[in-house]
């Protein structure tokens, strides 16, 4: 691994496998399931490991991601974003025709009618979940009467089969401190849970009540009727999630191990108190907190410039010379992965596999 040309994206298999095992053990003990989100890894090999570990399905954010994963053998797919244009709806129904276990989201009555018409045109029955807003007003329909009405419409419309609801509360995932996060998460899921109850009472299918993420994976099951967590970042971890704190340590989130790193090389070490590397914004993004130099202390790393990373020494555990390699814990895993075409899967520092990031750049 230390001979790789840099910048290179590396995933540690021991850490990755431990994260998969922790997630599966936790959700199973809590009586729910994992439906991991592939927007994080965009990698068929990891989706396959998640399904093999016991996940009930894989979430995707874009039709392009769904298609890329399906083309690589992943067939249990739930798309969490609504498809609103004729082009996107055609692509989704085209995928549905190939992939009987593809589930789509909707959040307006007009869209549900468009899906119904498209399903008829494609000669398929499309599985649909209603996306419910947790209060962030970003996507989803308002819980209560509006969501119930939409679910009833989906249930009635020809060509559609209602499968339940989504309620992804992105705004609660990075709330710092377990107790605060728990309180906010459960409060914001309450309206969706009530909607789910009312759907069940009116005879509708509520087999799926999916939401949550890496920050709330051990919280969401307390919501009645909740079925599965759309966890993404837990496979890799990153500097953003390390900061939120967990049940055992209020300062550092230690439930999962950082498995994803960027290898970088020092390009310039001739100036006092600093060094320059080959991993800048195009290799690391500019997300905050900045990447963390793994295994070292007393230095900070920034990737604010497009081509170059900067190390600043405060009270450094070591200094670098030109050509030295270093390993960075990523700032925010999702957009970092989206910069690379492949990741190197390593164990004990040796490369075991090179995994194509098949859905990299599949933003449509």
What is the per-residue binding string for its own copies in 153-172, x denoting contact by CB under 8 A?
A: -----------------x--
Q: Which is nearer to its own copies, 40 or 227 (CB)?
A: 40
Q: Which is nearer to its own copies, 298 or 304 (CB)?
A: 304
- In this structure, what token pair is assigned to residue 328? 């960075």
* Distance (Å, whole) CA 136 – CA 114: 25
Cβ count near 23 (within 10 Å): 25
User: Cβ(180)–Cβ(146) under 8 Å?
Assistant: no
Residue 310 as a binder of its own copies (CB under 8 A): the answer is yes
What is the per-residue binding string for its own copies in 92-131, x denoting contact by CB under 8 A?
A: ---------------xx-xx--------------------
* Distance (Å, whole) CA 239 – CA 245: 11
Q: Which stretch binds its own copies (CB under 8 A): 24-32, 140-148, 178-186, 253-261?
A: 140-148
Interactions with its own copies, residue window 59-88 (CB under 8 A): 61-62, 81-82, 84-85, 87-88
* Distance (Å, whole) CA 114 – CA 124: 14
Pick one of 117, 197, 205, 278: the residue that binds its own copies (CB under 8 A).
Answer: 278
* Distance (Å, whole) CA 295 – CA 337: 22
- Strand duo 102-106 + 126-131: pairing: parallel
Residue 36 as a binder of its own copies (CB under 8 A): the answer is no
What is the per-residue binding string for its own copies in 227-256, x denoting contact by CB under 8 A?
A: ------------------------------
Pick one of 36, 103, 285, 299: the residue that binds its own copies (CB under 8 A).
Answer: 285
Q: Which is nearer to its own copies, 8 or 128 (CB)?
A: 8
Q: Which helix (H) or strand (E) holds 91?
A: helix 86-98
* Distance (Å, whole) CA 349 – CA 130: 45
192: left (phi over 0), alpha (psi -120 to 50) or beta: alpha
Q: Which helix (H) or strand (E) holds 33?
A: strand 33-34
- Strand duo 342-347 + 8-12: pairing: parallel
Which residues form the interface with its own copies (CB under 8 A)?
3, 5-8, 39, 61-62, 81-82, 84-85, 87-88, 91, 107-108, 110-111, 133, 137-142, 170, 265-268, 270-271, 274, 276, 278-279, 281-283, 285-287, 305-308, 310, 322-323, 334-335, 338-341, 360-361, 363-364
């Amino acid at each position: 691994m230390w001979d790789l040309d840099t910048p290179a994206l590396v995933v540690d298999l021991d850490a990755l496998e431990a994260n998969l095992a922790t997630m599966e053990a936790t959700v199973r003990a809590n009586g729910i399931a994992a439906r991991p989100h592939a927007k994080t890894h965009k990698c068929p090999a990891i989706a396959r490991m998640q399904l093999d570990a016991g996940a009930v399905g894989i979430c995707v954010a874009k039709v392009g991601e769904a298609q890329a994963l399906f083309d690589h053998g992943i067939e249990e797919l739930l798309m969490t974003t609504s498809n609103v244009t004729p082009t996107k709806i055609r692509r989704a129904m085209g995928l549905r025709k190939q992939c009987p276990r593809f589930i789509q989201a909707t959040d307006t009555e007009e869209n549900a009618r468009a899906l119904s018409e498209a399903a008829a045109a494609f000669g398929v029955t499309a599985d649909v979940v209603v996306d419910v807003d947790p209060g962030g007003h970003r996507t989803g329909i308002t819980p209560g009467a509006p969501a119930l009405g939409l679910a009833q419409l989906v249930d009635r419309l020809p060509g559609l089969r209602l499968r339940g609801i989504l309620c992804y509360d992105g705004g609660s995932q990075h709330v710092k401190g377990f107790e605060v996060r728990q309180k906010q998460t459960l409060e914001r899921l309450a309206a969706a849970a009530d909607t789910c109850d009312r759907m069940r009472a009116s005879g509708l299918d509520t087999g799926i009540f999916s939401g949550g993420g890496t920050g709330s994976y051990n919280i969401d099951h307390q919501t009645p009727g909740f079925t599965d967590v759309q966890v993404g970042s837990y496979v890799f971890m990153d500097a953003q999630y390390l900061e939120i704190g967990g049940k055992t340590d209020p300062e550092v989130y230690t439930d999962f191990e950082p498995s994803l790193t960027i290898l970088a090389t020092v390009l310039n070490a001739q100036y006092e108190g600093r060094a320059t590397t080959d991993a800048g914004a195009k290799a690391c993004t500019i997300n905050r907190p900045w990447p963390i130099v793994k295994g070292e202390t007393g230095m900070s790393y920034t990737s604010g410039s497009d081509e170059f990373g900067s190390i600043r020494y405060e009270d450094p555990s070591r200094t670098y010379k030109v050509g030295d390699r270093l390993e960075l814990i990523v700032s925010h895993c999702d957009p970092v992965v989206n910069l690379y075409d492949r990741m190197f899967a390593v164990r004990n520092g040796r490369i075991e596999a090179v995994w194509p990031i098949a859905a990299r750049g599949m933003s449509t």
